[in-house]
Structure 1
Amino acid sequence: MSLIPPARPVLGAIAVVYHLGQVILIQRKTAPNIGWWGFPGGHVEMGETALQAATRELFEETGVIARPLEYLTNVDVLLRDPVGMVQKQYLLTAVLCAYESGTPVPDDDALQACWLPVDEIENRGLELIDQVGDVARLAQRRMSQQG
Protein backbone atom coordinates (compact mmCIF):
# COMPACT_ATOMS: atom_id res chain seq x y z
CA MET A 1 0.00 0.00 0.00
CA SER A 2 1.48 3.32 -1.04
CA LEU A 3 0.96 6.32 1.16
CA ILE A 4 0.60 9.80 -0.26
CA PRO A 5 3.10 12.07 1.47
CA PRO A 6 1.58 15.02 3.31
CA ALA A 7 1.48 18.29 1.41
CA ARG A 8 4.29 20.56 2.56
CA PRO A 9 5.38 24.11 1.78
CA VAL A 10 8.01 24.51 -0.93
CA LEU A 11 11.21 26.44 -0.19
CA GLY A 12 12.19 29.07 -2.72
CA ALA A 13 14.68 31.92 -2.87
CA ILE A 14 14.37 35.31 -4.53
CA ALA A 15 17.24 37.60 -5.50
CA VAL A 16 16.75 41.20 -4.43
CA VAL A 17 19.44 43.05 -6.35
CA TYR A 18 19.59 46.69 -5.26
CA HIS A 19 21.86 49.09 -7.18
CA LEU A 20 21.73 52.89 -7.55
CA GLY A 21 18.15 53.21 -6.29
CA GLN A 22 16.82 50.39 -8.47
CA VAL A 23 16.01 46.68 -8.23
CA ILE A 24 15.76 44.01 -10.90
CA LEU A 25 12.26 42.68 -11.50
CA ILE A 26 11.04 40.07 -13.95
CA GLN A 27 7.66 39.38 -15.48
CA ARG A 28 6.94 35.70 -14.86
CA LYS A 29 6.34 33.45 -17.84
CA THR A 30 5.31 30.31 -15.93
CA ALA A 31 2.86 29.38 -13.17
CA PRO A 32 2.29 30.48 -10.57
CA ASN A 33 1.76 34.18 -11.27
CA ILE A 34 2.06 34.13 -15.07
CA GLY A 35 2.35 37.73 -16.30
CA TRP A 36 2.94 39.18 -12.84
CA TRP A 37 6.09 41.06 -11.82
CA GLY A 38 8.40 40.03 -9.02
CA PHE A 39 11.98 39.32 -8.10
CA PRO A 40 13.94 36.65 -9.96
CA GLY A 41 13.89 33.39 -8.06
CA GLY A 42 12.79 29.81 -7.81
CA HIS A 43 13.15 26.55 -5.94
CA VAL A 44 16.07 25.83 -3.67
CA GLU A 45 17.65 22.61 -4.94
CA MET A 46 18.82 19.81 -2.64
CA GLY A 47 22.30 20.58 -1.30
CA GLU A 48 22.05 24.27 -2.19
CA THR A 49 21.69 27.16 0.25
CA ALA A 50 19.06 29.83 -0.31
CA LEU A 51 21.90 32.29 -0.93
CA GLN A 52 23.25 30.08 -3.72
CA ALA A 53 19.77 29.43 -5.14
CA ALA A 54 18.97 33.15 -5.32
CA THR A 55 22.08 34.03 -7.33
CA ARG A 56 21.71 30.95 -9.56
CA GLU A 57 18.08 31.79 -10.34
CA LEU A 58 19.00 35.44 -10.93
CA PHE A 59 21.58 34.43 -13.52
CA GLU A 60 19.29 31.84 -15.17
CA GLU A 61 16.40 34.30 -15.47
CA THR A 62 18.27 37.52 -16.31
CA GLY A 63 21.95 36.84 -17.10
CA VAL A 64 22.93 39.21 -14.27
CA ILE A 65 25.70 38.25 -11.85
CA ALA A 66 25.37 39.36 -8.22
CA ARG A 67 26.93 38.48 -4.90
CA PRO A 68 24.62 37.39 -2.07
CA LEU A 69 25.05 39.62 0.98
CA GLU A 70 22.51 38.44 3.55
CA TYR A 71 19.09 37.02 4.22
CA LEU A 72 16.75 40.01 3.97
CA THR A 73 13.35 38.60 4.96
CA ASN A 74 10.95 35.73 4.32
CA VAL A 75 7.77 35.92 2.27
CA ASP A 76 4.91 33.46 2.79
CA VAL A 77 2.90 32.73 -0.36
CA LEU A 78 -0.39 30.84 -0.04
CA LEU A 79 -2.11 29.97 -3.31
CA ARG A 80 -5.80 29.28 -2.78
CA ASP A 81 -8.55 27.79 -4.91
CA PRO A 82 -11.81 29.71 -5.54
CA VAL A 83 -13.31 28.53 -2.22
CA GLY A 84 -10.25 29.57 -0.22
CA MET A 85 -8.52 26.22 0.34
CA VAL A 86 -4.73 26.39 0.20
CA GLN A 87 -3.56 24.47 -2.88
CA LYS A 88 0.14 25.30 -2.72
CA GLN A 89 2.34 27.07 -0.21
CA TYR A 90 5.78 28.61 -0.67
CA LEU A 91 8.24 30.04 1.81
CA LEU A 92 10.42 32.45 -0.16
CA THR A 93 13.69 33.58 1.35
CA ALA A 94 14.54 37.04 0.05
CA VAL A 95 18.29 37.36 -0.41
CA LEU A 96 19.84 40.82 -0.60
CA CYS A 97 22.38 40.81 -3.42
CA ALA A 98 25.10 43.22 -4.55
CA TYR A 99 25.12 43.83 -8.31
CA GLU A 100 28.34 42.76 -10.03
CA SER A 101 27.75 42.67 -13.80
CA GLY A 102 25.35 42.14 -16.67
CA THR A 103 22.27 43.71 -18.16
CA PRO A 104 18.91 42.10 -17.34
CA VAL A 105 17.75 40.06 -20.34
CA PRO A 106 14.75 37.74 -19.91
CA ASP A 107 15.53 34.03 -20.07
CA ASP A 108 14.28 30.77 -18.54
CA ASP A 109 11.09 31.66 -16.56
CA ALA A 110 11.05 35.38 -17.45
CA LEU A 111 9.04 37.20 -20.14
CA GLN A 112 10.68 40.54 -19.34
CA ALA A 113 13.51 41.64 -17.06
CA CYS A 114 14.53 45.17 -16.15
CA TRP A 115 15.81 47.59 -13.55
CA LEU A 116 13.03 49.59 -11.89
CA PRO A 117 13.47 52.51 -9.48
CA VAL A 118 12.30 51.44 -6.02
CA ASP A 119 10.31 54.68 -5.64
CA GLU A 120 8.32 53.94 -8.83
CA ILE A 121 7.60 50.21 -8.57
CA GLU A 122 4.04 50.61 -7.34
CA ASN A 123 3.26 53.53 -9.67
CA ARG A 124 4.01 51.79 -12.98
CA GLY A 125 0.69 49.96 -13.26
CA LEU A 126 2.38 46.55 -13.15
CA GLU A 127 0.66 43.51 -11.70
CA LEU A 128 2.98 42.95 -8.74
CA ILE A 129 3.37 39.75 -6.78
CA ASP A 130 2.59 40.27 -3.06
CA GLN A 131 5.08 42.28 -1.03
CA VAL A 132 7.35 43.29 -3.95
CA GLY A 133 7.24 46.98 -3.02
CA ASP A 134 7.79 46.27 0.69
CA VAL A 135 10.76 43.98 0.02
CA ALA A 136 12.31 46.50 -2.41
CA ARG A 137 12.05 49.28 0.17
CA LEU A 138 13.54 47.00 2.83
CA ALA A 139 16.50 46.30 0.50
CA GLN A 140 16.92 50.03 -0.11
CA ARG A 141 16.99 50.76 3.64
CA ARG A 142 19.41 47.90 4.35
CA MET A 143 21.82 48.96 1.59
CA SER A 144 21.75 52.59 2.72
CA GLN A 145 22.74 51.42 6.22
CA GLN A 146 25.70 49.48 4.77
CA GLY A 147 26.91 52.29 2.52
Structure 2
Amino acid sequence: MKRTLIVLMAATMATSCNQPGETGVSETSVAAAVESFREVMLHPDQAVFEELLDESLTYGHSNGLIENQKTCIASMVSGKFKFTSLEFSAQTVDVVGNTAIVRHELFGHTHDAGKEPGIAKLKVLMVWVQNEGKLRLVARQAVKI
Protein backbone atom coordinates (compact mmCIF):
# COMPACT_ATOMS: atom_id res chain seq x y z
CA MET A 1 0.00 0.00 0.00
CA LYS A 2 2.83 2.39 0.88
CA ARG A 3 4.50 1.87 -2.52
CA THR A 4 1.19 2.38 -4.30
CA LEU A 5 0.75 5.69 -2.51
CA ILE A 6 4.30 6.78 -3.38
CA VAL A 7 3.88 5.86 -7.05
CA LEU A 8 0.48 7.58 -7.21
CA MET A 9 2.01 10.69 -5.66
CA ALA A 10 4.81 10.63 -8.25
CA ALA A 11 2.25 10.21 -11.02
CA THR A 12 0.29 13.16 -9.67
CA MET A 13 3.46 15.23 -9.53
CA ALA A 14 4.23 14.22 -13.09
CA THR A 15 1.00 15.83 -14.22
CA SER A 16 1.52 19.03 -12.27
CA CYS A 17 5.21 19.89 -12.74
CA ASN A 18 4.62 22.52 -15.42
CA GLN A 19 5.26 26.12 -14.46
CA PRO A 20 2.16 28.27 -13.85
CA GLY A 21 0.72 29.48 -17.11
CA GLU A 22 2.46 26.81 -19.17
CA THR A 23 0.16 25.01 -21.58
CA GLY A 24 2.60 22.37 -22.83
CA VAL A 25 4.45 19.46 -21.34
CA SER A 26 7.70 19.96 -19.43
CA GLU A 27 10.71 17.67 -19.53
CA THR A 28 10.50 17.48 -15.72
CA SER A 29 6.91 16.22 -15.78
CA VAL A 30 7.76 13.67 -18.48
CA ALA A 31 10.79 12.40 -16.55
CA ALA A 32 8.59 12.01 -13.46
CA ALA A 33 5.98 10.07 -15.45
CA VAL A 34 8.65 7.77 -16.91
CA GLU A 35 10.03 7.16 -13.41
CA SER A 36 6.51 6.36 -12.14
CA PHE A 37 6.16 3.88 -14.98
CA ARG A 38 9.53 2.26 -14.16
CA GLU A 39 8.47 1.92 -10.51
CA VAL A 40 5.10 0.37 -11.32
CA MET A 41 6.79 -2.11 -13.69
CA LEU A 42 8.86 -3.25 -10.68
CA HIS A 43 5.91 -3.21 -8.27
CA PRO A 44 2.81 -3.83 -10.41
CA ASP A 45 -0.37 -2.09 -9.30
CA GLN A 46 -3.41 -2.02 -11.56
CA ALA A 47 -4.65 1.39 -10.34
CA VAL A 48 -1.28 3.02 -11.01
CA PHE A 49 -1.03 1.43 -14.45
CA GLU A 50 -4.52 2.73 -15.25
CA GLU A 51 -3.42 6.26 -14.24
CA LEU A 52 -0.33 6.14 -16.47
CA LEU A 53 -1.48 4.17 -19.54
CA ASP A 54 -3.87 5.72 -22.03
CA GLU A 55 -6.91 3.72 -23.11
CA SER A 56 -5.61 3.80 -26.69
CA LEU A 57 -2.17 2.45 -25.71
CA THR A 58 -0.19 0.40 -28.21
CA TYR A 59 2.61 -1.37 -26.33
CA GLY A 60 5.23 -3.10 -28.47
CA HIS A 61 7.51 -5.69 -26.86
CA SER A 62 10.95 -6.52 -28.23
CA ASN A 63 9.71 -10.00 -29.26
CA GLY A 64 7.11 -8.50 -31.60
CA LEU A 65 4.10 -8.87 -29.28
CA ILE A 66 1.77 -5.86 -29.38
CA GLU A 67 -0.56 -5.24 -26.44
CA ASN A 68 -3.29 -2.72 -25.71
CA GLN A 69 -3.90 -1.05 -22.36
CA LYS A 70 -5.94 -3.90 -20.88
CA THR A 71 -3.66 -6.72 -22.00
CA CYS A 72 -0.53 -4.80 -20.99
CA ILE A 73 -1.83 -4.18 -17.49
CA ALA A 74 -3.01 -7.78 -17.14
CA SER A 75 0.40 -9.09 -18.26
CA MET A 76 2.25 -6.96 -15.73
CA VAL A 77 -0.12 -7.47 -12.79
CA SER A 78 -0.39 -11.25 -13.33
CA GLY A 79 3.38 -11.75 -13.50
CA LYS A 80 3.34 -12.89 -17.12
CA PHE A 81 6.04 -10.25 -17.55
CA LYS A 82 7.96 -9.54 -14.35
CA PHE A 83 10.96 -7.34 -13.64
CA THR A 84 13.00 -7.96 -10.50
CA SER A 85 15.31 -5.02 -11.24
CA LEU A 86 15.01 -2.27 -13.79
CA GLU A 87 17.25 0.61 -14.86
CA PHE A 88 16.69 3.24 -17.54
CA SER A 89 19.73 5.08 -18.92
CA ALA A 90 20.74 7.42 -21.76
CA GLN A 91 17.27 8.95 -21.63
CA THR A 92 16.29 11.77 -23.96
CA VAL A 93 13.03 13.71 -23.91
CA ASP A 94 11.76 15.75 -26.87
CA VAL A 95 8.65 17.83 -26.22
CA VAL A 96 6.34 19.00 -29.01
CA GLY A 97 3.25 20.80 -27.66
CA ASN A 98 1.36 18.36 -25.46
CA THR A 99 3.37 15.35 -26.67
CA ALA A 100 6.69 13.97 -25.48
CA ILE A 101 8.94 11.50 -27.26
CA VAL A 102 11.16 9.59 -24.85
CA ARG A 103 14.03 7.29 -25.78
CA HIS A 104 16.11 5.31 -23.33
CA GLU A 105 18.01 2.12 -22.81
CA LEU A 106 16.49 -0.43 -20.48
CA PHE A 107 18.47 -2.96 -18.48
CA GLY A 108 16.62 -5.31 -16.19
CA HIS A 109 16.48 -8.70 -14.60
CA THR A 110 13.31 -10.61 -15.39
CA HIS A 111 11.49 -13.62 -14.02
CA ASP A 112 8.45 -14.02 -16.23
CA ALA A 113 5.79 -16.56 -15.27
CA GLY A 114 6.83 -20.07 -16.23
CA LYS A 115 10.32 -19.04 -17.32
CA GLU A 116 13.79 -19.05 -15.86
CA PRO A 117 15.18 -15.69 -14.67
CA GLY A 118 16.63 -13.65 -17.50
CA ILE A 119 18.14 -10.33 -18.51
CA ALA A 120 16.56 -7.68 -20.73
CA LYS A 121 18.71 -5.19 -22.65
CA LEU A 122 16.51 -2.98 -24.80
CA LYS A 123 16.25 0.34 -26.56
CA VAL A 124 12.83 1.84 -25.94
CA LEU A 125 10.76 4.54 -27.62
CA MET A 126 7.80 5.97 -25.68
CA VAL A 127 5.21 8.56 -26.65
CA TRP A 128 3.47 10.42 -23.83
CA VAL A 129 0.54 12.80 -24.34
CA GLN A 130 -0.86 15.28 -21.86
CA ASN A 131 -4.63 15.40 -21.97
CA GLU A 132 -6.80 17.17 -19.39
CA GLY A 133 -3.69 17.87 -17.30
CA LYS A 134 -2.50 14.26 -17.13
CA LEU A 135 0.43 12.65 -18.89
CA ARG A 136 -0.40 9.22 -20.27
CA LEU A 137 1.63 6.73 -22.24
CA VAL A 138 0.02 6.18 -25.65
CA ALA A 139 2.76 4.25 -27.45
CA ARG A 140 5.82 2.22 -26.55
CA GLN A 141 8.12 0.11 -28.71
CA ALA A 142 11.19 -1.83 -27.62
CA VAL A 143 13.95 -3.50 -29.60
CA LYS A 144 16.69 -5.82 -28.34
CA ILE A 145 20.21 -4.42 -28.14
Q: Give the structure-2-normalised TM-score.
A: 0.31
Higher-Rg member (1/2): 1
Query: Using CA pairs below 8 Å that are at least 6 residues apart, which structure has the higher relative contact order?
Result: 1
Q: Give the structure-1-normalised TM-score.
A: 0.31
